[in-house]
Every structure is written in structure tokens, then in C-alpha cells.
Copies of this chain bind each other. A is one copy, B any other.
Amino acid sequence: MSSSTATLTNHQVRLARRPEGSPKREDWSFTTEPAGEPAEGGVLVQTLSLSLDPAMRGWMNEGKSYIPPVELGAVMRAGGVGRVAASRNPAFAVGDIVYGTLGVQEYCLVAQDDIKRTGLVKIDLRAGTIGQWLNVLGMPGMTAYFGLMDIGLPKGGETVVVSGAAGAVGQTVGQLAKIKGCRVVGIAGGAAKCDWVVKELGFDACIDYKAGPAAVRDGLKAHCPRGVDIYFDNVGGEILDAVLAKLARGARIIICGAISQYNNTTPVQGPKNYLSLLVNRARMQGMVVFDYADRYHVAIAEMAGYLKEGRMSSREDVVEGGVAAFPEALLKLFTGENFGKLVLKIAD
């Protein structure tokens, strides 16, 4: 099952130092190594596309979190889709398309003992494109599904608000909430994203947070006359506070992320309206998608069905340029420049 890969070159991006604030070019180092050949039981995967996610910023920081930080000098952690280039493992054949934590590099050599840790699994491109496997059928989609369904517990007729509505997680949260019979209001940056969210994804409304200092407050007032039953928070900061001020009785807030705070060099801005939880008997709950790994297959099957039936769309923002483009591409997430799930294309 093995083909010679001894002559292949692997370009890599490594974490050179821990960024302060927004990651800079100098926080990365660029290395070149032979791709290597798998030992008995191992696999060599050629990276095709990498998922670029807000959570990556947290992995660069020192200290305890839900997973260990990326070590200095290590290849930057990234999930991605690849093609098996060489295999000495009967479960993987050359040419198989796989998902796994491949890292920001052109080739990922996975030893037999590391296959589980790398999360290497075969995927079926008949269920979705590579972009969709990194989006609605991948980690963002799983995050949306389990956050909304298991923590949000949506009921028909409830009002669901989602920030980062045009982003990877937000687009699926909103579409899924619509399918479940909710009224859905997005929050996104700029008229183009808001238009797309309403016209293409079918949200009931979308608030442009860049439209002025009171845009979110006024938008919530206009579009959520009975308050907010579920808020899926990807951004934190001022927007979280604005939504807290509009909670309905018994509301549920899913804390999925806080992208507005990730590059802070000052302390995180705590939600000063958190006592709205008391007044409204509401709850705020954090989630980490990996906890639901045993049930990914259920969510994938359900959402692949929605894609096939045309009840769900997905949008990816694909950056070309290979691993060298990684540092610049990542910043698009924090400026809000990306439109859809951000994907870095490494090879065809």
C-alpha cells in the first residue's frame, strides 16, 4: 500500500513565540523538512485544505485551557482535510480522503500510536465537499449542532440570536434553528454579510454591528420584541452585554467563544449586565465541541441530509497560497474580514 515519498518536501509553519495581542509574522517560523515515510502501521497524509478557526488564538497562549497550548517550536495545530499519500496501515489506502489534526504543513506523518490523537478518520466526499467537511460537517458544524441542541434546547417559536452569523459556526446555528422552527436574528459585520444571512440563509433578520454604536441595541429591540430566548455567543464583549440586556425569562446563553477578546492585551471584558441572568432566571453555559465526539456521526448524518435536500447552505472563504499564507490568512478572522468559514487551501 506504500508508495515512495522519500523525495517529497514538507513546508511547515511553527509557533516561534507566544503572541501579545494580534499574532505577527515574527511569531511564526517557517521550516522545510522531508515529508518522510510511514513506519509499520503509520500513514503519510498530504494536506489539501486547513480549517482556520478563532480557537487557534487560544492555543497559542501559555497556560491551562481545554487542550494544552501549542508548544514553542512545534508545528501550529490545525484541523484539515488531506489525501493519504502513503500508508502502512490497513485502515487507510493511498488516495483516501481523511480529516484530522494535520497541522499547518504540507504533509503530516502519523505514526500508528498517534492515529487516534490526530483524530484521523476517512470522510466521504459524496456527503459534502472538502469545504463543507471543514464547515457544516466539520468542527464548526458540530459546535453549532451540539451547542444549539444540547445547551440551547430550542423550542418552536422561540427567538434565537447568533453572533458571528456569517461565520463558520454562526451560519449553521441560524439555519439549524430555522429548521427547528425558531425565529432567528443574526449579528454580523457589514451590509454584505447581513444581506447574505437573510437572503441566502433565510434568517428572519440580521443586525449589522458595524452600523453605529447603538446598532445592536436598536436592532435587538426591533427584531426581538419578546426578548431573546437563546443567544449563541461567538464574540463576547459589547455584543454579549447588549444581548444580556434583552433576555427573555428563562433564556439560555451558549458561550462558544469570544473572538472580540482573544487578542486583548488588557483583561477580558466581563459581561457587566450578567445580573440579567438573575432577573430573568437565565443561564449561561460554556461548551467545548470535543465532548460530543461520540455523537458527531449523528449530527453529520442529519446535516448531510439538510445539505442534500437544499435546506441548508454553507459558505467557505477559501484563501489560496499554501502554508506561507497562513499568518496573514488567520488575521482575517479577527478583523472580521472573512466571509464564511475560513479555509486555507494547501493543495488540489
Contact = CB atoms under 8 A, between A and B. Distances in A.
Interface of A: 64-66, 236, 241, 255-258, 261, 267-288, 291
Contact of A279 (B271, B278, B279, B288): B288
Contact of A277 (B269, B272, B284, B291): B284
Given A268-B272, A275-B255, A285 B286 contact: no
A277 B64 CA distance: 14
Contacts of A279: 64-66, 286, 288
B278 A287 contact: yes
A283 B282 contact: no
Contact of A274 (B65, B275, B276, B284): B284
25 contacts: A64-B279, A65-B279, A241-B270, A255-B275, A255-B277, A255-B278, A256-B278, A257-B278, A258-B278, A268-B272, A268-B273, A269-B272, A270-B270, A270-B271, A270-B273, A274-B274, A275-B286, A277-B286, A278-B286, A278-B287, A281-B286, A281-B287, A282-B286, A283-B284, A283-B286
A107 B272 CA distance: 40
A291 to B, nearest CB: 6
Contacts of A280: 286
Nearest to A267: B272
A305 to B, nearest CB: 28
A275 B261 CA distance: 10
Given A271-B274, A276-B286, A279-B286, 7 more contacts: A255-B274, A258-B278, A267-B272, A271-B271, A278-B287, A278-B288, A283-B286
Contacts of A270: 241, 269-274
Contacts of A275: 236, 255, 258, 261, 268, 286
Of all A-B residue pairs in the complex, the 7 with the closest CB atoms, nearest first, are A270-B270, A278-B286, A277-B286, A283-B285, A270-B272, A270-B271, A284-B284
A236 B279 CA distance: 14
Contacts of A288: 278-279, 281
Contacts of A64: 279
A325 to B, nearest CB: 29
The interface centre, meaning the residue of A258, A269, A270 with most chain B CB atoms within 10 A of its CB, is A270
A274 B64 CA distance: 15
A255 B261 CA distance: 24
A288 to B, nearest CB: 6
A250 to B, nearest CB: 10
Contacts of A255: 274-275, 277-278
Nearest to A264: B272
A154 B105 CA distance: 47
A247 to B, nearest CB: 9
A148 to B, nearest CB: 16
Contacts of A66: 278-279
